[in-house]
Amino acid sequence: MDMGAPIGNAAGAAKSSATLDANGKARLAKAVKDFEAIFLGYMLNSMRSTVPKDDLSGESFGGGMMESMFDMELAKRIASSKSLGIGDMLYRSITKEPPPKSPAPSSHQASMAPTQAPLVAVAAKEGAPVQTAPHMPAQTPDSTQGAPPAAILTRLGNYEGMIQQAAEKHGVDTSLIKAVIAAESAGDKNALSSKDAKGLMQLTDTTAADMGVKNVWNPSDNINGGVKYLQTLLERFAGDTTRAVASYNAGPSQVEKHGGVPPIRETQQYVKRVLNYLNFFEQEEAGDEKR
């Protein structure tokens, strides 16, 4: 991050600080706080990257996004609490005045959790555009109720034929395939996790190679490889969908070690989410057959 440019601009603005009216000072106060939050966000992200992952840390693309959203929200709260005072120092250097005091939040506001947070999806491959979603509805870690968001359903519709072909080839239910894709990548063919899992069904390079996937960024190849791997897990656990889904996230060795869904918070949430989506897609398919 180039910190020199914002600070240099701030110094230049000091010459005209005397002309700032009340609204200008309010905007400046917000700008320096936003700068402090961004700086703190980079710090938190850098510190998190130094923490080693253990074998019990299952991971999905959605989990990485939630971590980024948490870090940014934490950075905002630290900045607004004046714990470090970087924003205040910038404000003083520009205006030669103390920063305005923020009004104390009401008890109702203080108890409310943030309802939206910025989200940036990773561009998965070289040359792919970075896709941005301005806001994402708040979702508690244990939230597994309801159908997949409409955006996910729309994306899945683009791959209906590929999903059907893979289902017929490997003998896996289409509803289960859709549920796994929805939970793994939100239907984003360019999804890339922090552990380098790629594409719609979030295949690692090792799994992709084992399943004979030649081009992991080709949606058809990726879905076919993911469904083939899912089929091997279903066979390994005698058709037990819950254990197969848990294995897709945490690895079959963890499921065998614990005799079921392992005590990994992310995996437990992942299994609930996939099974919830599975129920939705099964009901949707049953409704289509009746019509």
Domain with residue 172: its CATH number is 1.10.530.10
pLDDT at 17 (0 to 100): 44
Q: 226 lies in which domain range?
A: 150-290
d(CA 286, CA 278): 12
**Of 185, 192, 186, which is closest to residue 128 (Cα–Cα)?**
192
Domain boundary among 112, 139, 159: 112
Per-residue pLDDT of the chain (291 residues; tens, 9 = 90+): 444 444 444 444 444 444 567 777 777 777 767 777 777 776 766 766 665 554 444 455 555 555 666 666 665 666 565 556 777 777 677 877 777 765 544 444 333 333 333 333 333 333 333 333 333 333 333 344 568 999 999 999 999 999 999 999 999 999 999 999 999 999 999 999 999 999 999 999 999 999 999 999 999 999 999 999 999 999 999 999 999 999 999 999 999 999 999 999 999 999 999 999 999 999 998 877 766
- Both 82 and 178 in a single domain? no
pLDDT at 237 (0 to 100): 97
pLDDT at 201 (0 to 100): 97
Domain boundary among 90, 112, 134: 112
| Angle at the Cα of 250 from the Cα atoms of 67 and 195, rounded to 5 degrees | 50
- Catalytic (active site) residue 184: yes
Helix or strand or coil: residue 282?
helix
d(CA 50, CA 48): 5
Question: Is residue 29 assigned to a domain?
Answer: yes
Number of domains comprising the chain: 2
- Both 195 and 89 in a single domain? no
State CA 285 to chain mean position distance: 28
- Both 104 and 197 in a single domain? no
Question: Is residue 261 assigned to a domain?
Answer: yes
Between helices 150-157 and 174-185, what is the axis angle to 10°? 120
- Both 101 and 179 in a single domain? no
Beta strands in the chain (DSSP E): 116-120, 132-137
Element (H, E) at 101: none
- Both 158 and 285 in a single domain? yes
Selecting among 160, 184, 266, 285, the annotated active-site residue is 184
pLDDT at 262 (0 to 100): 97
**Of 154, 208, 211, 214, which is closest to residue 182 (Cα–Cα)?**
154
Question: Is residue 137 assigned to a domain?
Answer: no
Between helices 86-95 and 4-13, what is the axis angle to 10°? 30
- Both 160 and 225 in a single domain? yes
d(CA 251, CA 268): 13
State CA 288 to chain mean position distance: 31
d(CA 252, CA 240): 12
Domain boundary among 62, 83, 112: 112
- Both 100 and 155 in a single domain? no
pLDDT at 52 (0 to 100): 54
Question: Is residue 119 assigned to a domain?
Answer: no
Question: Is residue 67 assigned to a domain?
Answer: yes
